[in-house]
Amino acid sequence: MTTKPLFPATVLSVLCACGGGGGTQQPEACIPVDLPTATDPNAMGAVVDSGPECVGHTNGLFTSVTLCEPGTSTCQTIDHLLIDTGSVGVRVLESELALVLPAVTSTSGRALAECTHFVDGSSWGPVRTADVILGGEFAVSLPIQVIGEGSYTLPANCTGTPINDFKTLAANGILGVGVHLQDCGADCAQPTSSILNPGLYYECSSAQTCAVASVPVAQQVAHPVAAFPFDNNGTIIQLPSVPADGALSVSGLLMFGIGTQPNNGLGVATVLAVNGQGFFTTTFPIGGTGYTSYLDSGSNGLFFLDAATANLKQCTGGVKEFYCPTSTAKLGATLSSSSGASTTIVFSVANPSTLSSEAFAFGNLAGPMPGFPLNPSAPGFDWGLPFFFGRTIYTAIENQSTPAGAGPYVAF
Amino acid sequence: MRRWSCAVLVLASVLQVSSSACAALGDDAAAIATDQAHMQASLRVWHQANYAVHELLAPSGITLRQFVGDGGKVFAVSWSGGWRPNLRDVMGAYYDRFIAGTRGRRATRGVARIELPGMIVVMGGHQRAFFGHVYLTDLAPAGFAPEEIR
């Protein structure tokens, strides 16, 4: 693999996909990667590759999901859903969906739709019911979101940059496998008159008329794994290490259940309890200051602190949202939780100019946490997908019992 | 009132396009009292050398801070909590500019720092834990450092 600047091919190909109708720049290397085959029913293949239609993702972890019209054998497999431990629920683009899925309805019988918040924007679309098959496991009649503006007009109060089509999502959907049981929870079940209701769910009386709704948790978009009859207490993401200059693709596994089968035990993994926001503590450097932090497979880099606090140079130009150390920085941190468990890790931050321009998987891509330092409740570390390479990472779902106690926790 | 930030007033602000009754970016600080009532929030105000911080803490646990310059205008807003605020309320007349400037994909996924003419927006977090801020570089007091947005 040649070593060329990262800028023109991968990161810049992402930038070039920005609006304005400019020609989309294909990555130099665009080879579809088949999902690895998993032999156990509680496992399925996962891959880091260029993304669907060679869209040019950096550090996007994907798998395929099979959806069925409830109670039927009319099914469709959709490839390249982004595996995201930072959110919960199955979401597919309406442009990819060939099935007729029934609406999930409000208590007054109206079809539900959702304005789902993500860091980069919001995804709008109806809530539908599907039977969901992941590997050899299935969730019956699961509320999922169909992303798109084709069914219901985007409400004015669904603010944030719209992520409602293939061009903006750059994936066919999202497989949210975070620590929560639903994407919203008790807040969205509050009356619409309550300020506690964040107004994510809507009920629609016509294609143009949707109003904020109060939605019981049973009707909310839910964690698919928690709905399995077995192996339903959490997930495991297992990915190999990648070379220092990156890899064209990486094949690994997404597994279901923690300590429920011979293949999913915790072993010697350190269990870090997380709070209701999914946070634990990262101390950086080792013996230094403690910062609020989280794991998120949906983040494409290690985003932490700022250049001054981390003592790293920030890039300029097209990759200025990343760190550019003169030579690869070897750093250490201690990850710990309120339960007293802790583990010390080492990680690397490379200069993007030393990374392969043909690669899509990088274990050492990092950048500042935008806005750091913020108020004390804002996190200092987002351990994104690079942290997952070379590790087996467990995500235990809230209130589900495991051999290490009930979730929520992360372990590795 | 269903949104933690002045959603009831949004329709009016959208239709009139004039300044919202919410204390959005560029608006007069007098509107913060309206926000406080609608959010059922507690208000704490503290003063720095050449600006004031109005902090609204809502029962939902969401914190909204509005930074007011000596001229009485809101030049920055920060937020943290389980959900992102209604950005149309927060950004006011600048919202459309923000949306127009952020269509399409970005190099980072999971965090965002967006620099637009006269305006910087940063966002981070994940579902059930969002934070961010927006500030107007031209309205900020002289010598104001973005690190002061806390």
Which tokens sit at A73? 């054998």
According to the model, what pLDDT value does residue B12 have?
29
Helix, coil or strand: residue B87: helix
User: Which chain A residues touch B145 with a CB distance below 8 Å?
Assistant: none
**Mean predicted lDDT score pLDDT of chain B:** 80
Query: How many CB atoms are located within 10 Å of the residue A239 CB?
Result: 25
Q: How far apart are CA A87 and CA A185, in angstroms?
A: 12
> According to CATH, what is the number of the domain A260-411?
2.40.70
Residue of A nearest to B129 (CA): A277
Q: How far apart are CA A46 and CA A353, in angstroms?
A: 27
Q: How far apart are CA A51 and CA B71, in angstroms?
A: 49
Q: Give DSSP secondary structure letters for A17-70.
A: TSSS-PPP---S-----PPPP--STTEEEEEESS-GGG---SS-EEEEEEEE-T
A205 CB-side CA count, 13 A: 5
Q: How far is CA B40 from the centre of its chain?
A: 17
**C-alpha distances in Å from residue A77, one per residue of A49, A90, A104, A252, B122:** 18, 13, 21, 19, 36
User: Which chain A residues touch B10 with a CB distance below 8 Å?
Assistant: 156-157
Which tokens sit at B83? 């959900």
Query: How many CB atoms are located within 10 Å of the residue A175 CB?
Result: 31
**pLDDT higher than 80, residue A313:** yes
What is the share, in percent, of chain A residues with pLDDT greater than 70? Answer: 91
The DSSP call for residue B83 is S
The sign of the torsion formed by the CA atoms of B131, B134, B140, B142 equals positive
The whole-angstrom distance between A193's CA and the closest CA on chain B is 5
Inter-chain contact B105–A14, Cβ cutoff 8 Å?
Answer: yes
Task: Quickly state the pLDDT bin for A51 (edges 50, 70, 90).
Answer: very high
User: Which chain A residues touch B150 with a CB distance below 8 Å?
Assistant: 373-375
Residue pair A157/B10 in contact by the 8 Å Cβ criterion: yes
Helix, coil or strand: residue B25: coil
According to the model, what pLDDT value does residue A362 have?
98
Domain ranges of chain A: 41-227, 260-411
**C-alpha distances in Å from residue B139, one per residue of A33, A371, A398, B134, B136:** 50, 19, 44, 12, 5
Task: Quickly state the pLDDT bin for A346 (edges 50, 70, 90).
Answer: very high
Q: How far apart are CA A345 and CA B95, in angstroms?
A: 41
- Average of pLDDT values for B30-44? 80
Interface test with B, best of A14, A62, A117, A161 (most B CBs within 10 A): A161
* ipTM attached to this prediction: 0.89
| Residues facing B69 on adjacent strands | B51
- Average of pLDDT values for B123-129? 93
Interchain contact B133–A (C-beta under 8 A):
yes
Termini Cα distance of chain B: 27
Q: Which residues contact B49 (CB under 8 A, 6 or more apart)?
A: none
Query: How many CB atoms are located within 10 Å of the residue A181 CB?
Result: 19
Residue of B nearest to A60 (CA): B109
Question: For residues A155 and B18, which has the higher predicted lDDT (pLDDT)?
Answer: A155
> Per-residue pLDDT tens for A108-163?
999 999 999 999 899 999 999 999 999 999 999 999 999 999 999 999 999 999 99
The whole-angstrom distance between B121's CA and the closest CA on chain A is 9
Residue pair A123/A145 in contact by the 8 Å Cβ criterion: yes
Residue of A nearest to B84 (CA): A117
User: Which chain A residues touch B83 with a CB distance below 8 Å?
Assistant: 117, 187, 198, 200
Single-letter residue type at A231: D
Q: How far apart are CA A234 and CA A395, in angstroms?
A: 5
By Cβ distance, the residue of B60, B87, B110 closest to A298 is B110
Helix, coil or strand: residue A248: coil
> Per-residue pLDDT tens for A54-113?
888 899 999 999 999 999 999 999 999 999 999 999 999 999 999 999 999 999 999 999
Q: Which of A113, A109, A112, A142 is nearest to A125 (CA)?
A: A113
According to the model, what pLDDT value does residue A15 have?
31
Interface test with B, best of A277, A280, A369 (most B CBs within 10 A): A277
User: Which chain B residues touch A86 with a CB distance below 8 Å?
Assistant: 110, 126-127
According to the model, what pLDDT value does residue A376 have?
55
Q: How far is CA A349 from the centre of its chain?
A: 22
- Average of pLDDT values for B32-58? 86
Report the relative pairing of strands A137-147 and A43-48 from DSSP bridges. unpaired
How big is the A-B interface in CB pairs under 8 Å?
198
- Average of pLDDT values for A45-53? 95
| Residues facing A255 on adjacent strands | A43, A236
| Residues facing A395 on adjacent strands | A235, A410
Q: How far apart are CA A200 and CA B39, in angstroms?
A: 17
CB neighbour class for A23 (10 Å; exposed up to 12, middle 13-18, buried from 19): exposed
Q: How far apart are CA A22 and CA A25, in angstroms?
A: 9
**pLDDT higher than 90, residue A33:** no
**C-alpha distances in Å from residue A317, one per residue of A15, A237, A305:** 11, 34, 20
Residue pair A99/A162 in contact by the 8 Å Cβ criterion: no
Q: Which residues contact A312 (CB under 8 A, 6 or more apart)?
A: A323, A324, A325, A329, A349, A366
The DSSP call for residue A270 is P
Interchain contact B24–A (C-beta under 8 A):
no
Q: Which residues contact A183 (CB under 8 A, 6 or more apart)?
A: A87, A88, A89, A114, A116, A176, A200, A220, A221, A222, B127
**pLDDT higher than 60, residue B93:** yes
Interface test with B, best of A374, A382, A383, A385 (most B CBs within 10 A): A374
Maximal CA-CA distance, chain A = 61
pTM: 0.91
Inter-chain contact A379–B104, Cβ cutoff 8 Å?
Answer: no
- Segment 60-119 of chain B within 8 Å of chain A by CB: 60, 63, 65, 78, 80, 82-84, 86-89, 95, 98-99, 102-113
Rounded (10°) CA dihedral B130, A382, A174, A184? -30
Quick check: do A41-227 and A260-411 share a fold?
A: yes
Single-letter residue type at B76: A
According to the model, what pLDDT value does residue B11 have?
29
The whole-angstrom distance between B72's CA and the closest CA on chain A is 23
The whole-angstrom distance between A74's CA and the closest CA on chain B is 32
**C-alpha distances in Å from residue A372, one per residue of A275, A310, A382, B62:** 21, 11, 12, 18
User: Which chain A residues touch B78 with a CB distance below 8 Å?
Assistant: 374-375
**Matching residue, tokens 């926790």:** A409
According to the model, what pLDDT value does residue A315 have?
95
According to the model, what pLDDT value does residue A6 have?
40
Helix, coil or strand: residue A115: strand
Pick from A12-16, B53-57, B131-135: least confident: A12-16
Inter-chain contact B84–A367, Cβ cutoff 8 Å?
Answer: no
Architecture of domain A41-227: Beta Barrel (2.40)
Interchain contact B130–A (C-beta under 8 A):
yes
